[in-house]
Structure 1
Amino acid sequence: MIYDICVIGSGAGAGPIIYELSKQGHKVCVLEKGDFYKREDFSKDELAVTRRSVYNPKLEEQYHTIEEYIDKKWTKFPTYDTGWDFNNGNLIGGSSNFMSGFFYRLKPDDFKLASKYGKIKNSNIVDWPISYDDMELYYDKVEKIIGVSGEVSDYAHQEPRSSKNFPFKALEEHPITKLIDNASNELNFSIVKTPRAIISKDFKHRSACYYSNYCGSYGCSSGAKGSSREALILPVLKTNNLDVITNANVIKLNTNKNKKITQAIYLTKDGKKKELNAKLFILAAQAVESSRLLLNSKDVNFPNGLANNSLNVGKNLLSSSGGIVTGRFDERSMPLKELMTPGLFVNRAIKDFYFTKKFKGGMVEMVFEHANPIRRANFFKWDEKDSSKLLIGKELQDKLHTSFTKAKTLNMEVFADWTPNDNSFVSVDEKYKDKYGIPVANIRIGTIKHDLEVSNFLAKKAVKLLKQMGAKDIQSNIDALPSSNLQAGGCRFGNNPKTSVLNKYCQAHEVKNLFVTDGSFMPTGGSVPFTFTIYANSFRVADYIKDNYKSLIN
């Protein structure tokens, strides 16, 4: 069988394509590396989900290599040595199953940073080939189809909206928001109420949030979270136009003499090699793995990797700069009964400093420390006065009891732009192969001083707010290392084939029937999580494919 469309991956970049093209009547096949889990499969088992991660392959079998600049030289090490995992969910719906659901739009000036601020030294900052106006209607579409709850905030950098309000009312808030709001007013900070891709009331086949206190890193067992699986893939299975092949590890894309892809080669769970033929191919395997697949798809047409004759594939990988500032609150800050209220969201952010007169700033998102009890307890096993002393017995019990029943830690998560540069990229090295003999992705982590300076600038604002709120034990942990769950770039889009992989519709310059729709297309990432923009862009590309399908396959 020859499918109309083959989609590799099933997360935020794939879901809108699957949803729109299946509804239009095209025969679509999804190749997903992981399994198809149901709601009832998503438990709150910390050991399984975050300590051992049942949704990702074992690092000993399928790992990455990392290059860091240590002692004035680039040093490479495999991720199985450190447990640093850049796999973020191999299952239907991908990492969108595990997001916290912060859904902020990019702002108009995010699309033209080079024009607004100029090029930072040692950077590869460029303007996007599209504008905010090209994306606005698709942001609006995502809010309604994926389901976004919130309250539009009035502040200096609020972006234009075609819909006055979010389609779902804001989720219930924790009492600490009163403390945040009062302190913010005293400091003249404009607080932004966080919009989330979590529905606050029942919607179609999905149930409203039940405030389990386990969102980030966990799958949603009510269907409230707007994952690609829940919001997009499940509804279109009923069209009978969609086939889903799970445990399909795509290792190569083959091209013909016309430089068009004819088939995807994939491995089954037991290592058997199979092929799937299609007329049009959509790659959305998340940024690192998408670049890896293209680089490994070498043939006579593309000796350096598919769509890589210009040597742009893998370049300008993006993450998010920042870190976390923390503060502890107890009954001296607010009544203990209110403070220990479980499950409710903080849903507050500072975005006054998203732009400054001289440089692009960023935002600070407020969340409580993760509910994971093992992880939390692990932080308290050391003596605060002597970090080399391990606490045991009653001393440890008393500290854990106080920490779990009489105090809460508020995290201020700093989000600043990751500046694209020559030393942030994905490559492949024949020396390092997974259990199937396929070269793994090598991730070089190169940062520039500017990003750390912006992150520290934002951290100072966070510290100021925590002090105003009366927090104790305020600590700041800012560094330049990337967040492995935030991946973009590697196949940036642009108008010039010499400096970009994709055109403005995310179609490969060199391969007519290939589109890349995960975060790979992004030239810059903004100072927010990428998922919302990936969803919106994928809906935009889906419209283009719907309107031009016949010409794309001929």
Structure 2
Amino acid sequence: MKNTPLTTQSFDVCVVGSGAGGGPIAYELAKAGYQVAVLEKGGWYHEDDFKKDEMLPRRNIFRSKLKDERHVLEEPDGDDWSTSNTDEFWGGNIVGGASNFMSGYFHRLKPEDFRLLSEFGPIDGANLTDWPITYQDLEPYYTKVESVIGVSGKIVDHPFLEPRSTKDYPFPPLAEHPIAGWFDKATKALGFNPLPMARAVLSQPKDKRNSCEYSGYCGSYGCRSGAKGSARAALMYDAHDTGNCKVISHAKVFHINTDNKGNATSVDYFDRQGTVHRVTAKIIVVACYSIESSRLLLSSTGSNHPDGIGNRYGQLGKNLHCCAGGTGHGIFDLTKFTDAQAEALKVRGPFFNRALQDWYFIDDKSAFDKRVKGGTIDFVFDPPSPTADANGLKWDDNNNLMWGSAFKQRLKSHFTQSRDFKFEVFCDWLPTDNCHVSLDGSEKDKWGSPVARVKVGFHPHDLKVAEYVVDKGVQVMKQMGAQEYYGNAFTQPTSNLIAGGLRFGNDPKSSALDADCRVHGTDNLFVTDGSFMPNGGSVTPTFTIYANAFRVADKIKQQIAGHS
């Protein structure tokens, strides 16, 4: 393909990506009156495009196609490493990015998460560090996200509550599932502290967005009502409506150009037909998901950046981290309960907004030789998936294919006589030298650029912590009266909760970005997706990505104003 730009457009700010990291930049800068271009590799879909249909899986519609580009994956295989091609890590190529498909569990990080090394000490083989900012630096932006994005919930006083500048969330809690009370009673009997879980889902209408419809199709699905706080629904429409934000969809960015001082000058991208275009800007912001952001900076070589922009000390792509943890289930046999209890279990739609953080910090000398970071347990009902469930039930316990009356009875039992209740555990995935992004030496995408090579080694400490917390989740399922209960900790990388790779810090020898998320060695290139995070905390990272992006937006506005 020819890489000579056919057209050039100029803006004040160019943002690559429109998800939780890019959306706040576009929103804030456009509202401030600056001319903003947003380059999004996917399309711009709207509420009517998101069907409540199990047979419309998001990966086939809204994600990159394997035939176009894929990652080369290296993962542990005994004492060695195995290599394969994968499209596992595509969170969402669409305006609004992966935030369109999140479940919206919105937990803040805690102050200790910002000083992991100081608080808990070094761990051999882990690249732990403290953040260059504090919780108090980010707290006003957590509050801003709750209001702008729309977070519903109820603050209760508990031993693990973070410091807050507001007394409660701006929107009241969503409708609760009838068995939430069972959970509260069971966990209190165990001596635990049940927490109502905040969600980035509107319980009341906001601006042009409707409130939740309680369809059950939430996590992994696009929101048809606009209630979910995706960057698309909450930010990008408003940014566009200012008249100052131009969203260019189906724009595959492949290179950031720099001047003789090493500063970013422009961005080159392929349009849908494979034609190259260029956008010049005073400020360029990269927010295209941790792996792809690292890949873009590594690919953007120049006279002052021969190994990629900001890679003087080899920090691009380093210290990638996923989300350690596990999952578990409680299977409730409806025939073992009263009619009223069985009917309560059958209810679909309302959320089961409950979490436990009793082991966010673990001080158990019988399990660990010192106080360690632990995890969060979120309890959920999965979205309806009858086709997938039925397909999985066709094999018996001996892996033989079932049919006829036996299969019919099994289907009847599953869909009418039992209910599956799930928990998800989130723990820190410690950054190590064996988890990073580089450019592959042979595999290229359809545009001719090297694909990302992703090495995903994990630290044994992660698994030990996850197993400890998973066991607590299983204990809750048993106490609630489930007839079957089990859980599993995992070491496989999560496909949709990737962060790090371009960590921020004060020392360019150990970080890729400065405290304002500006690429070291440049004056005007920022990264605002989850790449900046030195560690992910023991919660899902989207809330923190949003908050930090709003913080960096303020830094960018100050910088532009200072140069005017």
Aligned to 1:380: 393
Partner of 2:418: 407
Native 8 Å contact 2:54 2:384 kept in 1:
no
Partner of 1:12: 20
1:280 aligned partner: 283
Aligned mates of 2:53, 2:221 — CA distance in 1: 9
| Paired AA for residue 64 in structure 1 | H
> Do residues 126 (structure 1) and 129 (structure 2) align?
yes
The equivalent of 1:28 in structure 2 is 36
Aligned partner (choices 62, 79, 97) of residue 100 of structure 2: 97
**CA displacement, residues 268-312 of structure 1 (integer Å, 9 cap, x when unaligned):** 112111111111100000101100111111122111111111110
Deviation of residue 550 (structure 1)? 4.3
Residue among 379, 384, 387 paired with 1:371: 384
> In the TM superposition, what is the alpha-carbon distance from 1:545 to its structure 2 partner?
1.1
In structure 1, what is the equivalent of residue 368 of structure 2?
Answer: none
Determine if the alignment matches structure 1 residue 232 to structure 2 residue 243: no
Aligned to 2:62: 55
Question: Where does residue 471 of structure 2 map in the other structure?
Answer: 460
Amino acid at match of 2:276: K
Q: How does 1:201-280 map to 2 (within 5 A)?
A: 201-280=204-283
3-state DSSP of counterpart to 2:362: coil
Letter in 2 for 1:366: F
**1:171 equivalenced with 2:179 (yes/no):** no
Whole-Å Cα distance in 1 between the matches of residues 405 and 484 of structure 2? Answer: 23
Does 2:90 match 1:87? yes
Percent identity reads 46
CA contact (8 A) 1:170 1:200 kept: yes
One-letter amino acid matched to 2:345: L
Structure 2 residue runs of 5 or longer lacking an equivalent are: 1-8, 364-370
> Does structure 1 conserve the Cα–Cα contact (< 8 Å) formed by 2:353 and 2:379?
yes
Taking the aligned partners of 1:256 and 1:137, their CA distance within structure 2 comes to 36
Paired residue secondary structure (2:540)? coil
1:333, CA displacement in angstroms? 4.3
Which residue of the other structure, out of 63, 75, 80, is the alignment partner of 2:82? 75
- Secondary structure at the aligned position of 1:415 is classed as strand
- Corresponding position of 1:194: 197
In 2, Cα distance between the equivalents of 1:29 and 1:292? 21
With normalisation by structure 2, the TM-score equals: 0.95
Is residue 295–residue 439 contact of structure 2 (8 Å, CA) maintained in 1? yes
Amino acid at match of 1:2: S
Say if 1:59 and 1:85, in contact at 8 Å, map to a contact too.
no
Aligned counterpart, 1:154: 157
Q: Give, in angstroms, the shift of residue 477 of structure 1.
A: 2.1
* 1:368–1:408 CA contact under 8 A, matched in 2: no
Distance 2:427 2:135 in 1: 19
Match of 2:116 among 94, 113, 117: 113
Question: How large is the Cα RMSD of the aligned pairs?
Answer: 1.3
CA contact (8 A) 2:473 2:487 kept: no
Q: Name the residue aligned to 1:64.
A: 71
TM superposition shift of 1:382? 1.9
Q: What TM-score, normalized by structure 1, do the two folds share?
A: 0.97
> What is the letter of the counterpart of residue 406 of structure 1?
Q
2:114 is aligned with what amino acid?
F
Distance apart, 1:258 and its partner CA: 1.3
Aligned length in residues: 546
Q: Is the CA contact (8 Å cut-off) linking 1:3 and 1:27 kept in structure 2?
A: yes
Alignment of 1:296-375 (within 5 A): 296-331=299-334, 332-333=336-337, 335-357=341-363, 358-375=371-388
Moved beyond 3 Å, runs of 4+ = none
- Give the Cα–Cα distance (whole angstroms) in 2 for the partners of residues 280 and 61 of structure 1: 29
- Write the distance in 1 (CA, Å) between the matches of 2:311 and 2:411: 54
Contact 1:8–1:32 under 8 Å retained in 2: yes
Paired residue type of 2:511: S
| Aligned partners of 1:330 and 1:339 also within 8 Å | no
SS in 2 for 1:486: coil
Runs of 5+ unmatched residues, structure 1: none
Counterparts of 2:497 and 2:328 in 1: how far apart (Å)?
Answer: 19
Letter in 2 for 1:36: W
2:186 is aligned with 1:183: yes
SS at match of 2:52: coil
